[in-house]
Chains A and B, each alone.
Chain A
Amino acid sequence: MDLNFTPEEEAFRQEVRDFFKENLPDDIRDAVRQGGELTKEIMERYHAILNKKGWLGTTWPKEYGGPGWGPVERHIFDEESCAAYAPRIVPFGLAMLGPVLQKFGSQEQKDYYLPRILNGDDWWCQGYSEPGAGSDLASLKTRAVRDGDEWVINGQKTWTTLGQHANMIFCLVRTDPDVKQQEGISFILVDMSTPGVEVRPIKLIEGGHEVNEVFFTDVRVPYKNLVGEENKGWTIAKYLLTHERTGIAGVGFSMLELEEVKALAKKIIRNGKPLSEDPLFAARVAQAEIDLEAMKLTNLRMLFTAQKQGAPGPETSILKIKGTVINQELKDLARRALGPNAAPFPKSLSGTNLDVAPDGHANNAARYFNNRKTSIFGGSNEIQRNILTKTMLGL
């Protein structure tokens, strides 16, 4: 048992910390700190800063232009980037499609798309969910029919995160409707400027625009846009699911939010005394802190296993469940701490309102509502429990 990082790992941590101190522009840090939506320009500028350093494809091996990090280095990078108030790297091209192409893509696809992802030439989004296929993703109906050298795609995708910024979308589509659901799905890349692709915004519960619907009407894309084999798309989807998992606990973000809640509770005065001295509020914060402390260790234990075995195990579903619940609790505390000052519709979303909350906290209620998504997306927490039932309990 040794909970310490090696001297090499600690040196790496310092290097990452120094990098953010020297290279993260103040305006980006402030935008993240305010907790509102980040603009496309900010995210592209941030990606370019990381790319210049060779740190953008955090899960990519060196041969494809990644840093070749292991799970522990990725974890350290995640922690330090959170602590520096750096944005989250937009995952669709970098954490999702990149690794898929590296494992399943043709040489031509790798050569063409991978550098474009790193250089920011393409902004990818994910075409998985459909109105009728959420948790039961394999029931998806968007149809792709081969016509000579082309695919003709018809159907609808939804919950397409940041699709409004994207020029490319990777899709799971049905290519054989006559076999078992999982065996008739393919993974196809679509240029969103193709005629017949239409993106419509979905306004979310808090009023923000983060996700979209994407409609496909007789969309024709080259046959070579198929990734991997025809009708083997489900294998790719499952592979992606394990890839998506490392860092899924969001420990770094929760640590930061815990500190923010504590600082906020010291600032807010209730009847002459800081909220932090209210025993009931302090106890709720303490309980979240305890759960998070345990979560940190659970995360490290699973990292250790991932490093030893080369891949994260099914117990990472525990991280998804517990990590999202803890983060949601912290968001709730940040909202509750404001009391009635959480009520105004924030200026960032309404455009007009007066922000009365302490600086940086006008979005607390909005963030609380927006964050309810985390226990739903990426395989809902109930789906994670199904996975654990099979893999860990054997029931």
Chain B
Amino acid sequence: MNFDLTEDRQMLQDSLRRYLADKYSVEHRNKVAYDAPYHDDAKWAELTELGALFALAPEEAGGMGGAGFDISVVFEELGRVICPEPVLGALMASRLMTAAGADQEELLSGATKYAVGLGELDAPYDLSGISTSASGGKVTGRKSIVYGGQVADVFLVAAKDGDSLNVYEVKASDASVTGYALMDGAGAAEVVLEDAPATLLIEGADAAIADAVNAGIVALCAEAVGAMDVLHKMTVEYLGQRKQFGRPIGTFQVLQHRAVDMLTEIEQSRSIVIKAAAELGGPDASKYCSMAKNLIGRAGRLVAEEAIQMHGGIAMTWEYPGSHYAKRIIMIDAQLGDTDYHLMRVAQAA
């Protein structure tokens, strides 16, 4: 039993934290996250030069990591600065391409941006109800809220050919892509495919998609832990500074105990991410990832709402950095299955 990071991962964490603290201030983040293209291409290039994407793929796929803990280290750091770069799409695409045995040099170097389109308006999480279909090398359908889709060069999309759930590669230039900003910053796209030329990447892709989703869940949960940790520290700092009734509001027990409850839930969140990361790629990965996503959904809501409440009016402003952390933490719930969806998955598996 050992809960310390390996030396390599510690170095990765240190270098990412230094770079992001230096180059991705929340002011800069807010400048780029809400205006097209909803990220910073120069920073994307620097981030990939640091090896952030290589850490997400295993050696046999040309990467230098790819384990659950590599993913959690990278995304926790991204979460600490609520980074709007489209790393999640790269991670999930890389998982699919590793499963397919496809070359991913262009992906891992950051030269080509990938986005993954799985869910649809009427089937956002459970893919049994998707209507995108494929036949004869063409794909038709609409993929909704494709994260990072606004800047993607290539889409990997789930589509059905008869009864088989497959993954296809579609060039952005062959799709109708409408990008937009998200509530919490960064971008996504509606991707409409009409007989779009497509390359079959994985046939019978249920297991590969499950793995990509699980990796994405580990990433999002780690991102949430990073963001929650920062938001909690901001809240505690504020409690120590803000004075009302002639004393710091942090001297009021009613607020102290609620700040402790936030801490407790963050520790529980950290624990469940460790468990999910450890199980990623194994036979029980889906179960533990569902557990993680559910717990993070609940903890995230508590931390975000309590942070806003305890800050008072200032947290209702756009100007205050904590507000943007709260938004990101809440909106993570909508990605790759929300609190209720994953609770039902755990309940049904029992």
Dominant secondary structure at the B interface: helix
How near does chain B come to A270, taking the closest CB pair, in angstroms? 16
Interface residues of A in 272-288 (CB under 8 A from B): 276, 279, 282-283, 285-287
Q: A2-B1, A304-B1, A394-B236 are in contact. Are A285 and B260 (CB under 8 A)?
A: no
Contact status A298-B343, CB under 8 Å: no
Q: Report chain A residues within 8 Å CB of B183.
A: none
Contact status B272-A297, CB under 8 Å: yes
Contact status B274-A1, CB under 8 Å: yes
Complex Cα distance, B232 from A394, in Å, reads 13
Contact status A279-B347, CB under 8 Å: yes
Contact status B271-A298, CB under 8 Å: yes
Q: B47 an interface residue at 8 Å Cβ cutoff?
A: no
Partner of B263, one of A1, A293, A303, A393: A393
Partner of A291, one of B69, B261, B268, B275: B268
Contact status B257-A3, CB under 8 Å: no
Q: A290 an interface residue at 8 Å Cβ cutoff?
A: yes
Partner of A1, one of B268, B278, B348: B278
Q: Report chain B residues within 8 Å CB of A305.
A: 3
Contact status B240-A287, CB under 8 Å: no
Q: A289-B346, A392-B263, A395-B251 are in contact. Are A294 and B268 (CB under 8 A)?
A: yes
Classify chain A's interface size. 35 or more
Q: Report chain A residues within 8 Å CB of B6.
A: 1
Residue of B nearest to A305 (CB): B3
Contact status B259-A304, CB under 8 Å: no
Contact status A321-B264, CB under 8 Å: yes
How near does chain B come to A102, taking the closest CB pair, in angstroms? 27
Q: Report chain A residues within 8 Å CB of B350.
A: 262, 276, 282, 285-286, 289
Q: Report chain B residues within 8 Å CB of A392.
A: 260, 263
A 37-75 binary contact with B (CB < 8 Å = 1; else 0): 000000000000000000000000000000000001000
Residue of B nearest to A2 (CB): B2
Interface residues of B in 1-41 (CB under 8 A from A): 1-6, 9
Q: A352 an interface residue at 8 Å Cβ cutoff?
A: no
B 261-291 binary contact with A (CB < 8 Å = 1; else 0): 1011001111110110110000000001001
Interface residues of B in 319-350 (CB under 8 A from A): 343-344, 346-348, 350
How near does chain A come to B55, taking the closest CB pair, in angstroms? 14
Q: B250 an interface residue at 8 Å Cβ cutoff?
A: yes
Complex Cα distance, B345 from A145, in Å, reads 64
Contact status B256-A294, CB under 8 Å: no
Q: A271 an interface residue at 8 Å Cβ cutoff?
A: no
Residues of A with Cβ closer than 8 Å to B?
Answer: 1-6, 9, 72, 262, 276, 279, 282-283, 285-287, 289-291, 293-298, 300-301, 303-305, 315, 318, 321-322, 382, 385-386, 388-389, 392-395
Give 10 A-B pairs besides A298-B267, A301-B271, A304-B3 with Cβ atoms closer than 8 angstroms.
A9-B1, A279-B344, A290-B291, A294-B291, A295-B271, A296-B271, A301-B270, A385-B261, A389-B256, A389-B257
